[in-house]
Amino acid sequence: MESKSLPPIPGRGAPTNLRPTRTGSLAREADGDWLDEAETIDGAAPRLRTTVTIEHPKTIIARNTSPDIGFDRSINPYRGCEHGCVYCFARPTHAFHDLSPGLDFESRLFAKPDAAKLLRAELAKRNYKVAPLAIGTNTDGYQPIEREWGITRSVVEVLAETRHPLIITTKSDRLLRDIDLLARMAKDDLIGVAVSVTSLDPALARTLEPRAPHPRRRLAAIRRLIDAGVPTQVNISPIIPAITDHEIEAIMKAASEAGAIRASYILVRLPHEVAPLFRAWLAAHYPDRAAKVMHMIQDIRGGRDNDPHFGTRMRGQGIWPDLIRARVKRAAREYGMDRRFPPLRCDLFRPPERDGQMELF
């Protein structure tokens, strides 16, 4: 399947605003009225601005039973992500809101300002069982709007107060704002951080993840976290064949020099609406190798754009995943990044006050 080449949109990752196809909703089609020309009046399209809608969920902890993931609970302070990473596997979740996994996902965001309050209530339940909780595994808790909203910090404050173990994954150095909380949690083995670095090439990073911080700022964040005593690894994700795979060793060397104690990686995944968006991105930025890239991805994914099956969806199949795995292991040994995180402690948890009252026993 060939994708039509579309001009890149400055400051955005998705080349299109592909409409949902799985919710039964009907997207508006061009019919020749004035709305079809509204964005090109006066000869220039207006800048696509980010909007934020307040969401009031009843609970804040999401549960999963996936055997491919090393945690069973997570928190997403936001829906959608302004970083605009074209490869983001969370993009299809916007389709369930009758919004596009394309530009809507990175420009029409949802914030959950009651997250800390809801978390406190859930942690106070008598039947709550402690296990590491993850932030940043679906959408980034430290995306640009966190600067104004501060929802992620409010959640981390509750976890620090209750001495609850936490895993953070981010591609933003904005988490350094919370280094006071993270360093305090690190003293009791309550925190592990993964900083994602997809490429060291600024030009490539600008097209892949247009509103994420410069790769060097992320490496500097690793150094700051390590210096503060926070166990930190580099997450080389996703690795994209014929686009970023040649940088594996360079990223690991740079992360090692920044102090990272280990490395992890994920091969690019293209579920549902992500696949056509990624194809359009390839057509816009790498038309010379688009067919080769998709052929390699399909080779990794059993002949399809995406493999949804547990056990293989993260690892991939065939010679390419085996070669990448061997390269990562070899570089980890060479650069001293084959260490393990200290086990996160669950025995220090102190439930918050319940209904304003402290527990007597």
Q: Look up residue 299 and give its amino acid.
A: D
Please name the residues in contact with 292: beta carbons below 8 A apart, sequence gap of 6 or more.
242
- Between 359 and 238, the more confident residue is 238
What is the structure's pLDDT at 10? 65
Entry field: residues in the chain: 361
Model confidence at 39: pLDDT above 50: no
Does a structural domain hold residue 22?
Answer: no
CATH of the domain at 120: 3.80.30.30
What is the total count of domains within the chain? 1
Does a structural domain hold residue 109?
Answer: yes
Does a structural domain hold residue 38?
Answer: no
Does a structural domain hold residue 105?
Answer: yes
DSSP state of 22: S
Signed CA dihedral, 110, 69, 234, 187: sign only: positive
Does a structural domain hold residue 347?
Answer: no
Does a structural domain hold residue 359?
Answer: no
Give the 3-state secondary structure of residue 145. coil
What is the structure's pLDDT at 13? 63
What are the pLDDT digits (tens) for 45-88? Answer: 556 789 999 999 999 999 988 777 788 999 999 999 999 999 99
Does a structural domain hold residue 197?
Answer: yes
Place 38 in a pLDDT band, splitting at 50, 70 and 90: very low
Q: Look up residue 241 and give its amino acid.
A: P
Does a structural domain hold residue 31?
Answer: no
Model confidence at 190: pLDDT above 80: yes
What are the pLDDT digits (tens) for 1-37? Answer: 444 555 666 667 666 666 655 544 444 443 334 333 4
Reported pTM: 0.87
Domain that holds residue 143: 51-334
> C-alpha distances in angstroms, 304 versus 87, 208, 272?
16, 22, 11
